[in-house]
């Protein structure tokens, strides 16, 4: 059996909000497997892991840029928030986001793209690491484009124009006037920043994630003592609810909390005199999915002093 360390118990507590003894038992029951322990706690109703899964742990900036019918979003990480406020770092993120408009948005394409002042993006990044004195990384990028219509960008918690902690792109395909599309796109982008949908519609939800949610729902329902056919309906209901709450078009608009996003788009199309298609969206949240190592400053000082 795997050793259950204090560090693993602490990590599980931070991820789930469950009690220390519950976390220890979860790890013991699952042979130290962290992900299995998270699921075990969720099946017992002892964790809110789904809400914690996207927690922000890394520093840096997310940048957005739009040109014509094309938009780009890029995340560049740094070790501290102090660097994110650095003019040199902000200029780099802004330039890289503009450069992304001419690429497919992939890190590979961005890294080898030419930088305005000379050299490649990767070479300038390497130079910045040396001059700023802190590790930085070009983590991810994405590009959206429409044939007719607009791509609208939005930044939440802006640190500077087009730079912040959450960056959103919304692609709307339509012959409607640009001002109407931009107004709708801004509202949708703000909704996406707040509601954090996992996919455009239910068909776009990750199948592995749905299978995991189904397994958790089955485990919960199996303890209800109800007949098998009722349990099956409970599980199907739980998955349908999960899909509805996490697919953008079926989410309730945060502006009124009663209208589905699909209906918001349809109504906007009627008012604009031309159908509007919500083609795609991208949402980058700074540090999403990255765990930051916490340090014990007192312990570090003691170790350095040989205590």
Domain CATH code at residue 34: 1.10.8.10
Residues 98 and 196 in one domain: yes
Q: What is the pLDDT along the chain (307 residues), one digit of tens a residue?
A: 678 898 888 888 877 767 778 888 999 999 999 989 888 887 877 665 444 443 333 799 999 999 999 999 999 999 888 888 999 999 999 999 999 999 999 999 999 999 999 999 999 998 888 788 778 889 999 999 999 999 999 999 899 999 999 999 999 999 999 999 999 999 999 999 999 999 999 999 999 999 999 999 988 888 888 888 898 899 999 999 999 999 999 999 999 999 999 999 999 999 999 999 999 999 999 988 775 555 444 554 454 444 4
88 with 175, same domain? yes
Residue 253 lies in a domain: no
d(CA 152, CA 173): 11
Q: Which of 54, 52, 294, 63 is nearest to 165 (CA)?
A: 63
Residue 140 within a domain? yes
Instruction: State the Cα–Cα distance between residues 77 and 62, nearest whole angstrom.
Output: 8
**Are 270 and 122 contained in the same domain?**
yes
Q: Are residues 154 and 20 in the same domain?
A: no
The answer on 145 and 279 residing in a single domain is: yes
Domain extent at residue 3: 1-55
In a domain, 136, yes or no: yes
Do the beta carbons of residue 4 and residue 28 sit within 8 Å? yes
Total domains, the chain: 2
For residues 68 and 81, membership in a common domain is answered with yes
What pTM was estimated for this model as a whole? Answer: 0.75
**CATH code where residue 135 lies:** 3.30.479.20
Is 241 a member of any domain? no
Picking from 55, 70, 93, the residue at the C-terminal end of a domain is 55
Q: CA Rg, the chain, in Å?
A: 23
- For the chain, strand residue ranges (E) read 59-67, 70-78, 136-145, 149-160, 163-174, 276-285
What are the phi and psi torsion angles at 296 (to 5°)?
-100, 100
Is 236 inside any structural domain?
no
């Amino acid at each position: 059996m795997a050793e259950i360390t204090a560090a693993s118990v602490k990590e599980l507590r931070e991820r789930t909000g469950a009690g220390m003894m519950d976390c220890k038992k979860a790890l013991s029951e699952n042979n130290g497997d962290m992900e299995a322990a998270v699921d075990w706690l969720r099946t017992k109703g002892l964790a809110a892991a789904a809400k914690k899964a996207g927690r922000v742990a890394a520093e840096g900036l997310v940048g957005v840029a739009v040109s014509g019918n094309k938009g780009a979003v890029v995340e560049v990480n740094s070790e501290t928030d102090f660097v994110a406020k650095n003019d040199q770092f902000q200029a780099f993120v802004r330039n890289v986001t503009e450069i992304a408009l001419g690429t497919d948005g992939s890190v590979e394409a961005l890294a080898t793209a030419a930088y305005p002042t000379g050299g490649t993006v990767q070479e300038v990044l390497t130079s910045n690491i040396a001059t700023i004195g802190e590790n930085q990384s070009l983590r991810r990028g994405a590009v959206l484009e429409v044939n007719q219509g607009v791509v609208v960008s939005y930044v939440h918690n802006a640190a500077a124009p087009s730079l912040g902690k959450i960056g959103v792109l919304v692609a709307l395909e339509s012959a409607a006037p640009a001002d109407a599309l931009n107004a709708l796109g801004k509202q949708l982008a703000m909704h996406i920043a707040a509601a954090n949908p996992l996919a455009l519609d239910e068909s776009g939800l990750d199948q592995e994630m749905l299978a995991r949610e189904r397994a958790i729902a089955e485990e919960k329902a199996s303890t209800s003592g109800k007949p098998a056919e009722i349990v099956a309906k409970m599980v199907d209901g739980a998955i349908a609810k999960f899909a509805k709450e996490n697919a953008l078009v079926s989410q309730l608009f945060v502006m009124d909390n009663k209208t589905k996003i699909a209906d918001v788009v349809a109504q906007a199309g009627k008012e604009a005199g031309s159908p509007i298609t919500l083609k795609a969206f991208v949402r980058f949240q700074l540090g999403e999915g990255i765990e930051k190592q916490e340090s014990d400053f007192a312990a570090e000082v003691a170790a350095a002093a040989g205590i």
